Amino acid sequence: MSDHPDLTPEEFDELVDGAAGANQVGEPEVSPGELLARLSKLTDPDSIFDLLAMAEPPQHALDRVRLREKLLDTLKGKLEAPAKAVDAWLVDQTPPTQNGQGAALALEDPEPWDEEVDGAELAAEIEAIIRRHVVAPDHVICPTVLWIIFAHVLDAFRIAPLLVVTSPTHRCGKTSLLAIILRTTPRGLPASNISPAALYRTIERFRPTFLVDEGDSFVHLSDELRGILDAGHTRDFAFVIRIAGEDLEPRLFNVWGAKAVALVGQLPAMVMDRAIHVRMTRKAAGSFVEPEDPEELRAATQPILRKATRWAIDNVQSLRGTRVQRLDGLGDRANDNWNPLRVIANTLGGSWPERVRAAALELSGADDEEAIQSMILTDLAVVFEEEGSPDELPTDSILDRLHQMEERPWGEFGRSRKPISAHALARMLKGFGVKPKRIHGHAADQRGYRMAGPLVEAIRTYTGRETPNQSSEVSAPQVEGHFEASAEEAETGGALTLRDQPESVPDQHEQRSADTLELREEVPGMAVSLETQIQVAAARAEATSELARTDYAVAKVLNRKGITPPPGFTEWSGKVVRLVTGEP
């Protein structure tokens, strides 16, 4: 009789024969799927331990991680400490390495497919195998398929967005998705833990597709690791400098490459800003995916890997340097991140361009801080215009109009999904130097926003809109003196003289009229008064103290002097300052 009460003698012999046969030379190993099926029939601890003792774990580290999770689920309630038993089995059975120095790392390029590959068919094959093993919405599946193809044509682009796969809890399919990415990308290299030195040296030598599972424990270990991930985002800056060799010489290490991270929770904001972020949740009850068998997955993905390699060889040159039109609703960084995937989608054709557009807006639109800030500035300009372009509006009036805007987030804003508040509006505008102020003609405690100074400049700079306050010329600055030059001197760079400010300054509207009528066309083709040109030139010169003589710094100086930057000044201010100051 068998010592295992769960099975008949015949059933136990069958289990033993199957496991033993897997250990014979030349015989196939028991697959993880078969092992799980057999363990699911057992409840007696001795039977479970005997079967584990006769089975072999997968050779690949990522396969062992995935099998560990499934084993823990299968053995839950059957053993007092299933985690200890599974870990002991995995560690004990892991193939030994020579002299305890670890196994040599060898990453080889896959052999390209023999025939020309249709990109749309390739994408369809990748999508089919993902859907076979993972339950996820299209805004997760679509960017993952395109990112896999992107990893093969990485060098056609200047931006390499991380693929970050997150979930609120464990067992949401992240590891299963990462296993498919591993099998379908060039030189896939999984790592649950790695030192900074090993990371940058490995990327420099092998150019792998670097895959990190359990990234919540991996990335939070070291700021240096996060720095390497950040550096690899842009090809021109994808380098780290380290001291190496006996002579302690500084050496440059290239960390440019495709990288994917899966984790529960979130990565630091700086890393997430450089990522395509797909969010997974646990599949609903009744949802079915095929059980994963690492060997079967490897066999199924091998043709896909070869086809992707061939497609990349045939298409990388045509993709190089290509950009798509900026997607409204995304910030600059998000548009950069999605550009490679959108370029590939346009090349594939069919439904892919529209699908990736929808995925980008779903995943990066609503939560993109830069896009939200640009949106609020645009909508503030609209509110002022619809109210008749007043100089100022109370906060309550602004909020009422924002809450009424359909297809905008202001009615259900933030995590609370409540209408945007005065505090939230002030917090968003604070970064632009815009603050609520007391509104004239209202109660003493009535506060609001003025369409002037920093708000006007922020709207112009970040949205390209021109507010009514920018449409006319402005008066001379109220300073002790100002520059004066003839039209001829402005053209030839003649000497400048400085005269005192007149005792009386004309009315603002009168001054604008005088400037417009008497001093015009000092720079050929520009209907801007010489007085205004001199103001901008003086501000540009003063902007050297602002650390950078940029148009933004010039505008900042003008605003501080109470001068609204004139329309189009960025196009001619450089020429004016050279004429007026004699700069080269």
Task: Report pLDDT digits (tens) over 469-500.
Answer: 544 333 333 333 333 333 333 333 333 334 44
Those residues whose C-beta lies under 8 Å from the C-beta of residue 23, and which sit 6 or more positions away, are 29, 54, 56
Distances (CA, A) of 537 to 209, 466, 544, 549: 51, 22, 12, 11
Handedness of CA 562, 568, 571, 576 (dihedral sign): negative
CA distance 319 to 340: 9
Q: What is the pLDDT of residue 416?
A: 74
The one-letter amino acid code at 502 reads P
CA distance 523 to 572: 8
What is the model's pTM? 0.55
Q: Quick one: which of 125, 144, 364 has its CA closest to 260? A: 144
- The full set of domain ranges for the chain reads 9-98, 119-284+291-362, 369-470, 481-581
And the tokens for 558?
């003008």
Q: Quick one: which of 84, 9, 89, 76 has its CA closest to 50? A: 89
The secondary structure of residue 408, as a DSSP letter, is: S
How many other CB atoms sit within 10 Å of the CB of residue 78? 16
> Looking up tokens 């939560």, which residue turns up?
367
* Upper half-sphere CA count for residue 493 (Cβ side, 13 Å): 8
**Greatest C-alpha distance within the chain:** 117
Q: What is the pLDDT of residue 370?
A: 61
Q: Quick one: which of 576, 579, 485, 477 has its CA closest to 526? A: 576
Distances (CA, A) of 244 to 195, 197, 201, 207, 238: 16, 11, 11, 20, 18
> Looking up tokens 């749309």, which residue turns up?
120
The one-letter amino acid code at 509 reads H
Q: What is the pLDDT of residues 229-240, one digit of tens each?
A: 778 889 888 888
Which residue ranges in the chain fall short of pLDDT 50? 1-2, 4, 16, 19-28, 94, 470-528, 544-549, 579-584
Q: What is the pLDDT of residue 469?
A: 53
CA distance 24 to 26: 6
DSSP 16-34: HHHHHHHTSTTSPPPPHHH
What is the torsion angle, in degrees rounded to the nearest 10, for the CA atoms of residue 268, residue 269, residue 272 and residue 278?
90
How many other CB atoms sit within 10 Å of the CB of residue 434? 22
440: left (phi over 0), alpha (psi -120 to 50) or beta: beta
369-470 is classed CATH 3.30.310: no
Helix (DSSP H) and strand (DSSP E) numbers for the chain? 24, 12
The three-class DSSP label of residue 66 is helix
Q: Are 213 and 175 in contact (CB under 8 A)?
A: yes
173: left (phi over 0), alpha (psi -120 to 50) or beta: left
The three-class DSSP label of residue 456 is helix
Q: What is the pLDDT of residue 553?
A: 57
Handedness of CA 166, 172, 175, 177 (dihedral sign): negative
Q: Quick one: which of 81, 21, 25 has its CA closest to 49? A: 81
In CATH terms, 119-284+291-362 corresponds, of 1.10.150.110, 3.50.50.60, 1.10.3720.10, 3.40.50.300, to 3.40.50.300
Q: What is the pLDDT of residue 304?
A: 96
Strands 437-438 and 392-394: unpaired
